[in-house]
């Protein structure tokens, strides 16, 4: 795996090192030794999968409050998504900034998202499947959401939204002064 820093402190883009032959390819998507050598957390307690049936489907921007903050390693295993992360860690040099990444089944790119980031994605193709490792069990009382189209963040989503949950659609705006969503 090839680990590349992103513009957001602590977030890492991971490129697969594919071994290609006439059968196709083989690549590791996780190696405890390689993650540790890159200074990344290696403890994951959940492996989640999400299907977006229609292009333009929106999920997020989700995060969990400490001490239940989640580290995530995200990958599109079918189709394609535009994955967005927002640094919500008070005191971080990139606090309040966001970055987007196209994760596709073809490029195999993965994204390591540190705890303290809001995370969401939009499907770019019908029947897109995202798989992700998570470092902490889901804790309903610690969950929070920031509105996907909050003007304070100014995220540039590639497609009009075709499907979104009521919870995500009605999520509050971010309060960058306090580092959390408005109540």
Query: 112 catalytic, yes or no?
Result: no
Catalytic residue among 82, 112, 119, 132: 132
Q: Are 144 and 65 in contact (CB under 8 A)?
A: yes
Question: Is 2-159 in CATH node 2.60.120.10?
Answer: yes
Annotated catalytic residue within 62, 82, 112, 119: 62
Give pLDDT tens digits for 51-97: 999 999 999 999 999 999 999 999 999 999 999 999 999 889 999 99
165 neighbors 61 (Cβ within 8 angstroms): no
Instruction: For the beta carbon of residue 180, count every other beta carbon within 10 angstroms.
Output: 17
pTM for this predicted structure:
0.92
Residue 132 annotated as catalytic: yes
Q: pLDDT of 4-33, one tens digit each?
A: 999 999 999 999 999 999 999 999 999 999
């Amino acid at each position: 795996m090839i680990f590349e820093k992103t513009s957001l402190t602590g977030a890492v883009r991971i490129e697969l090192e594919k071994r290609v032959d006439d059968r196709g390819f083989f690549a590791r998507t996780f190696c405890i030794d390689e993650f540790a050598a890159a200074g990344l957390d290696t403890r994951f307690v959940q492996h989640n999968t999400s299907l977006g049936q229609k292009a333009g489907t929106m999920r997020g921007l989700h995060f969990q409050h400490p001490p239940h903050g989640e580290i995530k390693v995200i990958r599109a295993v079918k189709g394609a998504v535009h994955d967005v992360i927002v640094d919500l860690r008070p005191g971080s040099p990139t606090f309040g900034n966001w970055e987007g990444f196209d994760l596709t089944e073809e490029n195999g790119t993965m994204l390591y998202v540190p705890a303290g980031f809001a995370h969401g994605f939009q499907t770019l193709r019908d029947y897109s499947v995202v798989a992700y490792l998570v470092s902490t069990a889901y804790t309903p009382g610690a969950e929070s959401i920031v509105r996907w189209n909050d003007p304070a963040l100014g995220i540039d989503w590639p497609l009009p939204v075709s499907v979104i949950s009521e919870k995500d659609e009605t999520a509050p705006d971010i309060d960058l002064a306090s580092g959390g969503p408005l109540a």
